[in-house]
């Protein structure tokens, strides 16, 4: 149980909350929690089994990384699927005819409630998109055989967590003939039950 909860920092994207929690053996302990809006990512596969990777500069690690198209859940009233569809258009200029939930993940539950949902997008086609800006303006993209993306992940050459989880899950899904994947509108309990910063803080 939570004895007390206070916001100690509120940024543009994250909030840091200090919780004091009751411990099972008695007493209390402080837990610093990064509150995150959540994110979606897209593993896009073409008809030849290639996966789309985008490359962009990431300031916290001071270098460019290969990733899958992804973005924050930061548009009011937008469904998880709509957010993924929007990101695929904005970052890659693509739309897809087939969408399924690929995998859900909690990125680092020891310190943050950040949850990510990766969608599998197939039957892709190019579409027009608005002019790119901010990070997207210098973003590049390439198609890579899924097997090569898996090799790169296992070799430490593909480091972005969402990309690693995505390509490994996609490879297994492909091996199974994409059977058993959840529909694109499947419930996402991690987001339904996520805690927010205390009201009025």
Q: Between helices 146-154 and 161-175, what is the axis angle to 10°?
A: 130
At residue 80, φ and ψ (nearest 5 deg) are -60, -45
CB-based contacts of 113: which residues, under 8 Å, 6+ apart? 33, 34, 35, 36, 106, 194, 195
Annotated active-site residue in 90, 135, 136, 157: 136
Q: Is there a catalytic annotation at residue 136?
A: yes
Q: Which of 66, 91, 24 is nearest to 164 (CA)?
A: 66
Half-sphere exposure of 133 (CA within 13 A, CB side): 2
Catalytic residues: 136
């Amino acid at each position: 149980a939570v004895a007390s909860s206070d916001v100690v920092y509120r940024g543009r994207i994250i909030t840091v909350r200090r919780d004091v929690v009751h411990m099972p053996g008695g007493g209390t302990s402080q837990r610093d929690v990064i509150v995150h809006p959540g994110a979606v990512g897209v593993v896009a596969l073409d008809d030849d089994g290639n996966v789309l990777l985008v490359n962009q500069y990431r300031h916290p690690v001071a270098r460019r990384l290969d990733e899958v198209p992804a973005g924050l859940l930061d548009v009011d009233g937008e469904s998880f699927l709509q957010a993924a569809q929007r990101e695929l258009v904005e970052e890659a200029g693509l739309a897809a005819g087939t969408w399924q939930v690929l995998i859900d993940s909690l990125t680092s539950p020891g310190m943050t409630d950040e949850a990510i949902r990766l969608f599998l997008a197939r039957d892709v086609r190019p579409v027009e998109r608005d002019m790119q800006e901010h990070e997207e303006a210098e973003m590049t993209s390439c198609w890579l055989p899924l097997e090569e993306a898996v090799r790169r992940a296992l070799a430490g050459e593909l480091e972005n967590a969402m990309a690693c989880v995505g390509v490994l899950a996609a490879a297994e899904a492909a091996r199974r003939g994409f059977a058993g994947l959840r529909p694109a509108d499947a419930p996402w309990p991690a987001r339904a039950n996520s805690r927010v910063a205390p009201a009025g803080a």
